[in-house]
Amino acid sequence: MARRERLKRAGLIGALVGVAATGVAVGVTAERLLLRRRRAPEADDTQAGEWFRPLPCDEAVAVPTDFGVDLHVEIVDPVDGNELDLGPLDDVDPTLIFIHGFCLDMGTFYFQRAELTRLGEHRMVFYDQPGHGRSGKLADGEYTLDDLADGLVRVIDECAPDGPLVLIGHSMGGMTIMALAEQFPDLFGDRVKGVVLVSTSAGKLDEVAFGMPDYVARIAKPLMPVVIGGGKLTSNMVDNIRRASTDLGWLITRRYGFGSEEPDRALVSYVERMNSRTDTVVVARYLRTIYTHARYPALEALKRTKVLVVCGEDDKVTPPDHSAEICRILPDASFVAVPGAGHVALLERPDIVNAALLEFLEQIY
């Protein structure tokens, strides 16, 4: 009986942690029965032939942080002849810095990076957040958005020490920008000439129901401390459960990461691979800072620069009303609602997101 109880408890924590990677905490068994689909891409999938291999860069560096984690950074330079380094600072094209979200990595910006590299007009900096992708992990303790902001400052200091900047953040990456604005408001309007916030929130994420029925959401929220306090004692067990449940993870990603009824299977698999590479200890150590994130006052600093807010119309993780609230505080911000898209709108509808990004960059210079 004791062994059965341990397995039952491990199964509960495993389900919670795996689901937390895409922002939902319960209901996975029903999803598996209702949404069972083949994972292999089909011929009519838009991205069926896309392998999502790592994109080329001109330089890869490791940037150390004050909290003991090295960040993996990749730099893409403009095509020869497009980079102008003459004239006053305000006449120089900005460096674009891309900051990804929770349980993802720099590959979140795959289509934006591919298109901007093709155009060859901008210097771009991509990096993996602490504990994600190829960046290092904390030896102990919890991750905080304040630390993420410090990490972003280190990336700026090491990789773009001079010239104007445009910061582009998805989900937790947008929260990182807000934490930066809270700690270093003078950067905005001075060096930071533009901010793009994609599928993000300034707070109250503990109130999000993730598209679940109210009674399910009420059960899920009190269980978050179980995940946060899970710690190393259960991490190996939970990671084994997650790896053994890849079909379940794929279905959860499909249901809660995307907005369309039939998203491209290749895209779902790509996002699910990023989710699954983030281990349980990292997930648990991030949840507190994400679910207590509240930085509405920090948005005041963004009034000094141009802002673009983008959100999928069917985003269940950071619902559209969170973007609407950001725009209420920043009435001069541009807003783009992406139809038929969920939390990963920049992957699901890159045509719309890329067009909005390029138009925004043209407005800056």
Ordered by start, the domain boundaries in the chain are 1-35+45-365
- State how far the Cα of 112 lies from the Cα of 131, in Å rounded to an integer: 23
* Contact between 50 and 347 (Cβ < 8 Å): no
Query: Which pLDDT belongs to residue 260?
Result: 86
Query: Which pLDDT belongs to residue 365?
Result: 73
Q: CB neighbours of 204 closer than 8 A, spacing ≥ 6?
A: 294, 322
Query: Which pLDDT belongs to residue 49?
Result: 54
With 0-12 / 13-18 / 19 or more C-beta atoms within 10 angstroms meaning exposed / middle / buried, residue 68 is middle
pTM exceeds cut of 0.75: yes
CATH of 1-35+45-365, one of 1.10.1060.10, 3.90.1150.10, 1.10.150.20, 3.40.50.1820: 3.40.50.1820
* Contact between 128 and 105 (Cβ < 8 Å): yes
Full pLDDT tens readout for the chain, 365 residues: 555 554 444 444 444 444 444 443 333 334 444 444 445 555 555 555 566 888 999 999 999 999 999 999 999 999 875 554 444 445 678 999 999 999 999 999 999 999 999 999 999 999 999 999 999 999 999 999 999 999 999 999 999 999 999 999 999 999 999 999 999 999 999 999 999 999 999 998 887 765 444 434 444 454 444 444 444 434 555 555 555 555 677 888 888 889 988 899 899 999 999 998 998 889 889 989 998 999 999 999 999 999 999 999 999 999 999 999 999 999 999 999 999 999 999 999 999 999 999 999 999 87
